[in-house]
Amino acid sequence: MNSAVKALVPATGPLLQIDGVSVSFGSAQVLKDVSFQIAAGEIVGIAGESGSGKSTICRSAMGLLPSTAEVSGSIRLGERSLLTLGEAEWSGIRGREMGMIFQNPASHLDPLRRVGSQIAQPMIRHLGLSRKEAMERAVALLDDVGIREPAMRAKSYPHELSGGMKQRVMIAAAISCAPKLLIADEPTTALDVTVQAKILELLKDLNARRGLGIVLISHDLGVLADICSRIVIMRQGEIVEQGQTAQIVEDPRHPYTQLLVNSQPGRKKLRSGWGKPGVQEPLLQVDGLTVSFPVKRNILDMLRNRTPGRFKALDGIGLAVQAGETVGIVGESGSGKSTLARTIIRQNTPAAGTVRLDGRDIGGLSGAELSAYRRNVQMVFQNPYDSLNPRMTAIETIAEPIWRHGLADRRTAGEEAARLLDMVELPRALGERKPRQLSGGQCQRVGIARALALKPRLLIADEITSALDVTTQAQILELLARLQRERELTLLYISHDLSVVSSFCQRVYVFRNGRIVETGAAQEVLTRPREAYTQELVASLHRLPGGSAAMAETQAGA
Amino acid sequence: MSIVTQPQATEAPARGRLNWTILVAGVIVGGWIVLAVFAPWIAPYDPNAVDILHALAAPSADHWFGTDQVGRDVLSRVIHAARIDLVMCIAGVLPPLLIGTTVGLLSGYYGGVVDTLLMRLYDLTAAFPFFVLVLAIVGILGPGLLNFFIALALVGWVTYARLVRAEVMSIRDSEYIQAAQCLGYSDRVILTRHVMPNAFGPVLAYAVSDSVLVMLAGASFGFLGMGAQPPTAEWGVMISDGSAFIRQAWWICMFPGLATISLGLGLAFLGDGLGQLRRRQVSA
């Protein structure tokens, strides 16, 4: 691999050179002999799943590792060796020569200070500017990072800004002293896709205009492939492969890289759905559904004797799902997609409209009829750890609904639960474990098994893979597609990720602000979106180039 | 596809080094429990046997802790008093714990008007110093252990209710409770099987520290003559009785005092250790 790497080094000498870096905490080694370089003005991506050490390498380059870490190897910024620096020398480099932005901008901004002064701070410190000059520059920087009315926004507090704007402020602060290198650790992971696209556009633009070198860390290979010239793939603290973006994406050599590439949502068309053609009575029918929540009344409203308004989370939604279909609901945060799921499982009461299963309004169900409805409609939740009772073992969790619904006695329910474990491809030995002893993907399989324990006809999956690594996500989706055929399920799949939905679902509803903006066959919506909002969603997708069925066949033999 | 590529979850977190706090606390509290249970066999004398000829005898080989003003063996009385004081810990903690947990569960889970009213009641109770309120209630009901326990229950339950309510409110919105509702479990099942076991940790830790307070309160009320009544051997009563002779016979007050302190410390350590253990489990 080394010879290949050398060929990539530009003649001018690298901006940042990381050579044989190993990091360990006590006996646990988290980085093993990591070497890569970044040339001035280059964007390098580091891809890897959780625990791959991709954040650790960047933290060691910024001197931000805890003091318990043992670091060996060498990290050089230009001519300077970084690992031997003292804290005083570090503070002259951080913010001045290297900037860093993080996944969650909210936790890296001081909530009590106006954003303008937070951007001005490093310039006062490093460049010796006066307060007034620094503030003027801060406003100019806000303008640079694409914030409208920058002079006014500079006076805002962080909580007055949206997530995307906070990340722009972080970027403005990081580039305020014109560093040569920006380290961006999952800068867009917490943001909606359309906002993500804009932030990436901004990074690309800064790179082009200012010659800013960028290290972009992400779990999303699609994002990296879009803006990086080179990509480094990490796994379990080691670099498994690095090279030009085109080579990594189109001709991955290492089996893990191949797995990662093939796990990207939308790479592989999953066969889902088993419905019979022809028009039939829909299994689930939603008509004019409106759900609203009271807006909190503040003291001013009380004095003025104003009644609090109600926020409409869903505003006159109508949709129908045929038996055997896989229907996707796509939307960004706050679009009302989770409210729909919660209304179908009767966690929210509609203000208007009806939800019907087999033509029967579910609003008035109670007693035995409600129990029957519960057996027909089940849901898998988003957070794999939070959705399981931490005090119950996997097998207890899966067996509980069976005997509580009187479908079997407790012993038989246990045996049935073990069969369900087989079905979701979990070893039976894991059945005795509690959630905290399982991985995220394993917990999500337990959640699926629990939902299937009552043999439902309709299964609602609300963002069930968004907390999982991409290879795990691909496995869960495949499992769901198989279970759907085997158990004759009808699926309502809710996600913010249009590429997942369109590769997995037959029909798609696009939600925005509590309304349906577009609906149609998944392929149709993805390739020929009609509405402006859907077009924006589709444009913000980061899909790997190429991507064919042939690629999917070369599955890693892991 | 197989699940081989999934990262294997780490094994159950290693127990780490032994939790010394809990061990020390366990030895102290356990020691007192053993002494209390086997008091008649361990204590060298009858705790109430008067021996006026040997009154106010200093600690010696015959009477390790000396004798009091009517010649009763202080060691035997300290050991027998452990029975009263330990029972007091339990009887003073359990009723408020049960009432408070039930109220906290219901008000935290259902919320609404009842919840709001209960919380105002809490604010009202919390506005008065604990001892003053208990003293006032015992003053109305009349002195005696039973009335003391009733007063404790009347004042103590609100703290438990508040504690449980806060836990329940965070658990109520978790996805496993939503899942339980979606699976159609009854509210009773959800509350007892899914909410309660996860809300109980802090209650247990608090109950142990609360028992220190109760024991000190019991001793204080005994001292003031409003709790256990003489001649019952109770640490507070003993200290109160001996206080008149503190110049001639320090041992009458000193040993029950030390006993009170050691059990109090033991219980406090235990509560602290349990709290740490729970936090460690949560973060694991």
Q: What tens digit of pLDDT does each residue of A483-541 get? A: 998 888 999 999 988 888 888 888 999 999 899 999 999 888 888 899 999 998 888 88
B48 three-state secondary structure: coil
If we measure between CA atoms, which residue out of A150, A147, A170, A146 comes closest to residue A158?
A170
Q: Is the pLDDT of residue B3 over 60?
A: no
Question: pLDDT for A107-118, tens place per residue?
Answer: 888 989 999 999
* Model confidence band, residue A276 (pLDDT cutoffs 50, 70, 90): low
Domain A323-350+364-527 maps to which CATH number in 2.60.40.1890, 3.10.150.10, 3.40.50.2300, 3.40.50.300?
Answer: 3.40.50.300
Q: Do B1 and A555 touch (CB under 8 A)?
A: yes
pLDDT over 70 (residue B284): no
Do A392 and A434 form a contact (C-beta atoms < 8 A)? yes
A69 three-state secondary structure: strand
Mean pLDDT of B64-76: 88
Q: Residue A232's pLDDT is what?
A: 93
How near does any CA of chain B get to the CA of A422, in Å?
12
Contact (CB<8Å) A389/B194: yes
Cβ atoms of residues B11 and B65 within 8 Å: no
Helices within A78-149 (DSSP H only): 87-93, 115-126, 131-144
In a domain, residue B186? The reply is: yes
Weakest mean pLDDT among A339-353, A492-506, A538-552, B173-187: A538-552
pLDDT tens-digit profile of A195-254? Answer: 888 888 888 988 998 889 999 998 888 888 888 999 999 998 899 999 999 898 888 999
Closest alpha carbon within chain A to B2: A425
Helix ranges (DSSP H) in A350-393: 367-376
Distance to chain A for B283, nearest Cα, Å: 10
- Partners of residue A405 in chain B, C-beta under 8 Å: 184
Report phi then psi at A295, rounded to 5. Answer: -80, 135
- Enumerate the residues of chain B whose CB falls inside 8 A of the CB of residue A555: 1
On whether any CB of chain A is under 8 Å from the CB of B283, the answer is no
* In-domain check, residue B119: yes
CB A135 within 8 A of CB A120: yes
- Residues of chain A neighbouring B180 (CB-CB closer than 8 A): 389
Q: What is the phi-psi region of residue A95: left when phi exceeds 0, alpha when psi lies from -120 to 50, beta otherwise?
A: left
pLDDT digits (tens, 9 = 90+) for A281-307: 889 999 999 998 876 666 666 666 666
Q: How far, in Å, CA of A123 to CA of A489, rounded?
A: 59
Contacts of A451 in chain B (CB under 8 A): 179
Which residues in chain A are contacts of B8 at CB distance < 8 A?
Answer: 439
d(CA B223, CA A521): 82
Domain contains B44: no
The span from the CA of A27 to the CA of B281, in Å, is: 22
Q: If you ran DSSP here, which 8-state letter would residue A118 be given?
A: H
pLDDT at A45 over 90: yes
Q: Region A416-434: what's the mean pLDDT?
A: 92
| Chain A residues within 8 A of B6 when measuring between CB atoms | 439, 441-442, 472, 475
- Cβ contacts of A472 on chain B, cutoff 8 Å: 6
Residue B24: inside a domain, yes or no? no
Residue B172's CATH number = 1.10.3720.10
| Residue in chain A nearest B195 by alpha carbon | A389
Query: Which residue would you say has higher pLDDT here, B280 or A8?
Result: B280
DSSP B230: T
The CB density around residue B120, as the number of other CB atoms within 10 Å, is: 9
Contact between B217 and B260 (Cβ < 8 Å): no
**Which residue does chain A place closest to B283, by CA atoms?**
A436
- Most A CBs within 10 A among B182, B282, B283, hence the mutation to make, goes to B182
**CA–CA separation, A558 vs B19, rounded Å?**
42
Long-range contacts formed by A367-376: CB under 8 A, 24+ apart: A370/A346, A370/B184, A371/A405, A371/B184, A374/A405, A374/A454, A374/B182, A374/B183, A374/B184, A375/A405, A375/A454, A375/A455, A375/A456, A375/B184, A376/A456, A376/A457, A376/A458
Interface probe with B: pick from A270, A385, A436, most Cβ of B within 10 Å: A436
Compare all CA atoms of chain A with the CA of B176 and give the residue at the minimum distance: A387
- Cα(B177)–Cα(B185) distance, rounded to whole angstroms? 10
- For A50, which residue in chain B has the nearest alpha carbon? B7
pLDDT of residue A436: 86
User: CA-to-CA distance for A227 and A542, rounded, in angstroms?
Assistant: 10
- Taking only residues 196 to 235 of chain B, the set having a beta carbon closer than 8 angstroms to any beta carbon of chain A reads 197-198
pLDDT confidence tier of residue B8, bands split at 50, 70 and 90: very low
Confidence band for A381, pLDDT divided at 50, 70 and 90: very high
- Does the structure show a pLDDT above 60 at A553? no
Chain B: closest CA distance from residue A475 (Å) = 7
A398: confidence class by pLDDT, cuts 50, 70, 90: very high
Confidence class of residue A12 from pLDDT cuts 50, 70 and 90?
A: low
**Number of domains observed in the structure of chain B:** 1
Phi first, then psi: give them for residue A46, nearest 5 degrees: -115, 120
**Predicted complex ipTM:** 0.77
Torsion sign, CA atoms B161, B164, B169, B175:
negative
Element (H, E) at A472: helix A470-486
Q: What is the DSSP string of A409-434?
A: -HHHHHHHHHHHHHHTT--GGGGG--
Judge whether B208 lies within some domain: yes
Rounded Cα–Cα distance for residues B76 and B255 (Å): 11
Check pLDDT > 90 for residue A451.
Answer: yes
Nearest one of A510, A497, A492, A436 to A470, comparing CA atoms: A497
Rank A154-163, A368-377, B242-251 by mean pLDDT and report only the highest: A368-377
Is the minimum CB–CB distance between B10 and chain A shorter than 8 Å? yes
Q: Is the dihedral of CA B261, B267, B271, B274 positive or negative?
A: positive
Q: Is the predicted pLDDT of residue A2 greater than 70, yes or no?
A: no
For range A45-51, the mean pLDDT: 86
Residue among B174, B179, B197 minimizing CB distance to A391: B197
Residues in A closer than 8 angstroms to B5, CB to CB, are 259, 471, 475, 556, 558
* Average pLDDT over every residue of A178-201: 86
* Residue B240, domain member (yes or no): no
Q: Mean pLDDT, to the nearest integer, of B58-67?
A: 87
pLDDT value at A11 more than 70: no
Domain hosting residue B213, numbered range: 82-232+253-283
Cα separation, A189 vs A103, whole angstroms: 6
Mean pLDDT of A404-431: 92
Is B277 part of any domain? yes
One-letter amino acid of A115: V
